A and B are shown apart, each in its own frame.
Chain A
Amino acid sequence: MKKVMMGNHALSFGAKLARSRVIAAYPITPQTQVVELLSEMCADGSLDAKFIKVESEHSAMAACIGASVAGARTFTATSAQGLALMHEMLHWAAGGRHPVVMGNINRSMAPGWSIWADQNDSLSERDTGWMQYYCASNQEVVDTVIQAFKVSEALMIPAMVILDAFALSHTYEVVDVPDQELVDRYLPPFKPAIKLTPDDPRAFGGLTGSEHYMELRYKLQKDMEKAPALIEETGREFAKAFGRHLGLLDAYRCDDAEFVFITSGTAGYTARAAVDDLRAAGVRAGNLRIKVFRPFPFAQVREALRNVKKAAVVDRNCSYGAHGIFYQEVKSAVYGEAGAPPILGYVAGLGGRDITVDSFKEVAAHAMSKERADEEIVWIGVKK
């Protein structure tokens, strides 16, 4: 069934179709309509879930962890400062291996106070052990929430499904809402091997000495390394059931491309228009949108850049004192590869400044004028 919906509600519908059993959230800014619609669904009985209203995002994630350890499929959503307040609990979820799925609206970190798009909020949580999917359309948001539960529960690793503020969160698009029966077949109920129940009392997350801690983290890393293949596999399975493929990367006109934009989020769709214009002007351009940031698809990025002559990474984020964050990862993916192309790093669109087709043309013109990167960051659209 096709419906017109905003990105926030796409997250809500994804959580509903996945038959989330517990949703815990703090309902005030920077929260969005994600949990508003979910609370309505819980109230009118269309979603059989317990909605827990808490007093902070830290508590929201704590409640999600509690629900997950008791064996419930658990969902929440947040954004920016709310995500930052969850930081400690994000480690508890990943380190404790509780496969919570969370929607995060990419909003810039304050100050200055902002509700507009950039990726520094979620990328600040890079090393917590959560999987991160960056979406570019509302359809992808609905589909990815369903897939994320499947992958997370198989690996017992939590996941964030991430979308740009306003460019997706409050933008209405046509979404083909997956059929509930097909979703149920694709995503069976969550049945963890170990769970908290009064019949089998246990204490979780207790003191762990140096003789065991490292092995727990080794296991987390090893399971993260299984995720790229599992995301591809469950993406193919999704395509068979619903006709839409979900992968690690989204390559647009990359097959014969010499010059490639590397993007993420909604900028990854804008880049397609720039690619078409560049192609019309005789440049063999392409766009490689990185959808999954954690685990980082190193092998797939390396393969995608094999025959490329030059690549330009456009980051809607910045690791201050270093580079754009996707830029760092892409460079490390091709490090030491014979014939790896020069890769240049651009930062654009911080604090919700639009990244337009012209921004990409400016990037292309700059990249083509350079033999190699001679600046740490090239700023696009900044009033210097």
Chain B
Amino acid sequence: MRQKKAKKIVFKSAEEMPLMICSVGDQTHNRTGAWRNIRPEIDLGKCIQCGICWKFCPEPSIDIVDEWPVIDYDYCKGCGICAEECPSKCIVMVEERK
């Protein structure tokens, strides 16, 4: 599913354009992780498995896998809400090195 690459379509004339602006297919190809300047990193040793990061992630880019939070960096924009809300302070925001 997520292997689809974003494909930009440029129309040559108004006539060949659809009336409304809409994507062809869903938005899985739109990897918003590229917007990220700081990345959340989870110290699972301190994680209490409360699920608050999963609940608050506005994207949502945190899955709970076998009761542990897993961040999907393809889509996480690095907003830092998970780190802010984490009651055990096990998520830290680390500068991206590009």
The answer to the question of B37 belonging to the interface, with a C-beta cut-off of 8 Å to chain A, is no
Q: Which of B10-18, B38-46, B57-65, B72-80 contacts A (4 or more CB under 8 A)?
A: B10-18
Q: Mark B27-43, 1 if CB is under 8 A from A, else 0.
A: 10000000000000000
Contact B27 A211 (CB under 8 A): no
Summed over the interface, the residue pairs from A and B with CB atoms below 8 Å come to a total of: 51
A204 and B14 CA atoms in complex are apart in Å by 18
Q: A203-B27, A219-B17 are in contact. Are A212 and B22 (CB under 8 A)?
A: no
Q: A202-B25, A203-B26, A215-B11 are in contact. List 9 more A-B contacts (CB 8 A).
A: A194-B22, A202-B23, A202-B24, A212-B17, A215-B13, A215-B17, A216-B17, A218-B14, A222-B14
A97 and B14 CA atoms in complex are apart in Å by 15
The answer to the question of A205 belonging to the interface, with a C-beta cut-off of 8 Å to chain B, is yes
> Across the two chains, which residue of chain B brings its CB closest to A196?
B22
| A→B interface (CB under 8 Å) | 96-98, 156, 194, 201-206, 208, 211-212, 215-216, 218-219, 222-223
Q: Which of B20, B21, B25 contacts A156 (CB 8 A)?
A: B20
Contact A219 B19 (CB under 8 A): yes
| B→A interface (CB under 8 Å) | 10-11, 13-14, 17-27
Q: Which of A204, A215, A218, A222 contacts B20 (CB 8 A)?
A: A204
For residue B35, give the distance in angstroms from its CB to the closest CB of chain A.
Answer: 13
Tell me which residues across on chain B come within 8 A of A205, comparing CB atoms.
20-22
> Across the two chains, which residue of chain A brings its CB closest to B16?
A215
Top 9 closest A-B pairs, CB basis?
A: A201-B26, A215-B14, A203-B23, A97-B20, A97-B19, A204-B22, A202-B22, A203-B27, A208-B21
Among B13, B19, B24, B25, the most chain A Cβ lie within 10 Å of the Cβ of: B19
Tell me which residues across on chain A come within 8 A of B10, comparing CB atoms.
211-212
Q: A212-B17, A216-B17, A219-B17 are in contact. Are A206 and B11 (CB under 8 A)?
A: no
Q: A203-B27, A212-B11 are in contact. Are A194 and B20 (CB under 8 A)?
A: yes
> Across the two chains, which residue of chain B brings its CB closest to A198?
B26
A97 and B19 CA atoms in complex are apart in Å by 7
Contact A201 B20 (CB under 8 A): no
For residue B94, give the distance in angstroms from its CB to the closest CB of chain A.
Answer: 29
For residue B77, give the distance in angstroms from its CB to the closest CB of chain A.
Answer: 15
Contact A212 B21 (CB under 8 A): yes
Could you name 28 residue pairs across A and B whose Cβ atoms are closer than 8 Å? A96-B20, A96-B21, A97-B19, A156-B19, A194-B19, A194-B22, A201-B26, A202-B26, A203-B27, A204-B20, A204-B21, A205-B20, A205-B21, A206-B21, A208-B21, A211-B10, A212-B10, A212-B11, A215-B11, A215-B13, A215-B14, A216-B17, A216-B19, A219-B14, A219-B17, A219-B19, A222-B14, A223-B19
Tell me which residues across on chain A come within 8 A of B21, comparing CB atoms.
96, 204-206, 208, 212, 216
Among A98, A208, A212, A222, the most chain B Cβ lie within 10 Å of the Cβ of: A212
Among B13, B14, B26, the most chain A Cβ lie within 10 Å of the Cβ of: B14
Contact A201 B25 (CB under 8 A): yes
For residue B6, give the distance in angstroms from its CB to the closest CB of chain A.
Answer: 12
A159 and B73 CA atoms in complex are apart in Å by 44
For residue B15, give the distance in angstroms from its CB to the closest CB of chain A.
Answer: 9
Tell me which residues across on chain A come within 8 A of B14, comparing CB atoms.
215, 218-219, 222
Tell me which residues across on chain B come within 8 A of A216, comparing CB atoms.
17, 19, 21
Tell me which residues across on chain A come within 8 A of B25, comparing CB atoms.
201-202
> Across the two chains, which residue of chain B brings its CB closest to A98?
B20
Tell me which residues across on chain A come within 8 A of B22, comparing CB atoms.
194, 202-206
For residue B2, give the distance in angstroms from its CB to the closest CB of chain A.
Answer: 14
For residue A201, give the distance in angstroms from its CB to the closest CB of chain B.
Answer: 4
A215 and B15 CA atoms in complex are apart in Å by 9
For residue B48, give the distance in angstroms from its CB to the closest CB of chain A.
Answer: 35
> Across the two chains, which residue of chain A brings its CB closest to B11?
A212
A158 and B15 CA atoms in complex are apart in Å by 21
A194 and B25 CA atoms in complex are apart in Å by 12
A218 and B10 CA atoms in complex are apart in Å by 16
Tell me which residues across on chain B come within 8 A of A212, comparing CB atoms.
10-11, 17, 21
A156 and B17 CA atoms in complex are apart in Å by 14
Tell me which residues across on chain A come within 8 A of B20, comparing CB atoms.
96-98, 156, 194, 204-205
Tell me which residues across on chain A come within 8 A of B26, comparing CB atoms.
201-203
